[in-house]
């Protein structure tokens, strides 16, 4: 059985992936804090910012594959702590990619659609990035560090949603939690994105590794919509009251970090080399099915005491 090292294993993608593939792979999930209480995979506590941490981690776990999810992923946190964001989003990926190349380990580095400014939209992998936030700038620096250190690595620009350890990590959870409680919310009509259900993302990344792909890919839904429309689609999926979602501009959201407006990414490269990722309706179907099966409660029960 192949060993896979997943960093950020308490985060939305890392934890969902680790739980989903446990049994198919010997999974080592790296966490810094908030270690999930689970026996489904090996939980490894490590501070990736520590001296020689990536090298020691690889030496201890001896993985065949690495999926690097760990990051300062909250845009507001990155804006307030740019030095921390630079270290975790840019420096650590380069170090991990260097070690992966040295040991001949296949690697996926998780990046973001926020490397673009969103002025024109419809971005291909060949389009020049122009990030507007500290998060986007440091994630772009991470892409470049990985590409320079390990050309065989996959760099995946993503946008995803799912159920999380805290129950508050994804936009889908925000809409579901509030609408289910009857709370009115705002939905941005001027921010467009291509959200992919987290397990569809996980499955696609593993297929990319199996296919021997390398380089930069947009790994998002082939469809795009506004965040307001995503909330309405989710409400309809769950039979909730979509009228509770008030259309609003992102400029009225009281956010510090600048958000890009049109982050619809082109996915022809992924479709050509692997096949299209699932669309939004298919993802919301799976998100709803997990809710009906009690998965949100199961995953949140893994929170540390």
Residues serving a catalytic function are 135
3-state secondary structure of 263: coil
Query: For 243, phi and psi rounded to 5 degrees?
Result: -70, -15
Closest among 116, 109, 174, 103 to 147, alpha carbons compared? 109
Distances (CA, A) of 215 to 4, 40, 94, 196: 19, 31, 14, 20
CA 91 – CA 139 distance, rounded (Å): 10
Closest CA to 71 of 24, 149, 9, 27: 9
> Are 222 and 267 a contacting pair, CB within 8 Å?
yes
Q: Is the dihedral of CA 96, 32, 30, 60 positive or negative?
A: positive
Structure-token pair, residue 229: 């429309």
Chain-centre distance for alpha carbon 165: 14
51, two tokens: 């001296």
191 phi and psi angles, rounded to 5 deg? -125, 120
Q: DSSP per residue over 269-292, as a string?
A: HHHHHT-PPP-HHHHHHHHHHHHH
């Amino acid at each position: 059985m192949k060993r896979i090292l997943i960093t950020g294993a308490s985060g939305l993608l890392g934890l969902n992936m680790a739980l989903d593939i446990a049994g198919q792979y010997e999974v080592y999930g790296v966490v810094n804090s908030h270690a999930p209480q689970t026996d489904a995979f090996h939980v490894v506590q490590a501070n990736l910012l520590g001296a020689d941490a990536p090298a020691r981690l690889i030496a201890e776990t001896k993985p065949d594959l690495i999926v690097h999810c760990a990051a300062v992923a909250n845009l507001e946190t990155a804006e307030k702590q740019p030095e921390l964001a630079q270290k975790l989003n840019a420096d650590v990926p380069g170090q991990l990619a260097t070690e992966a190349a040295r040991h001949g380990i296949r690697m996926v580095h998780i990046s973001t659609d926020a490397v673009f400014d969103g002025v024109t939209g419809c971005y291909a992998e060949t389009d020049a990035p122009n990030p507007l936030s500290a998060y986007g700038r440091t994630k772009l620096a991470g892409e470049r560090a990985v590409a320079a250190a390990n050309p065989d690595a996959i760099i995946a620009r993503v946008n995803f949603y799912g159920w999380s350890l805290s129950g508050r990590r994804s936009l889908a959870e925000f809409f579901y939690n509030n609408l289910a409680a009857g709370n009115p919310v705002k939905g941005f009509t001027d921010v467009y994105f291509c959200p992919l259900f987290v397990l569809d993302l996980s499955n696609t990344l593993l297929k990319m590794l199996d296919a021997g792909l390398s380089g930069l890919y947009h790994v998002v839904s082939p469809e795009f919509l506004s965040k307001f429309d995503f909330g309405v689609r989710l409400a309809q999926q769950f039979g909730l009251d979509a009228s509770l979602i008030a259309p609003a501009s992102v400029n009225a959201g009281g956010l510090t970090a600048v958000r890009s407006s049109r982050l619809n990414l082109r996915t022809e490269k992924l479709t050509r080399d692997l096949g299209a990722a699932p669309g939004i309706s298919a993802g919301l179907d799976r998100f709803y099915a997990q809710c009906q099966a009690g998965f949100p409660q199961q995953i949140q029960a893994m929170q540390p005491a």
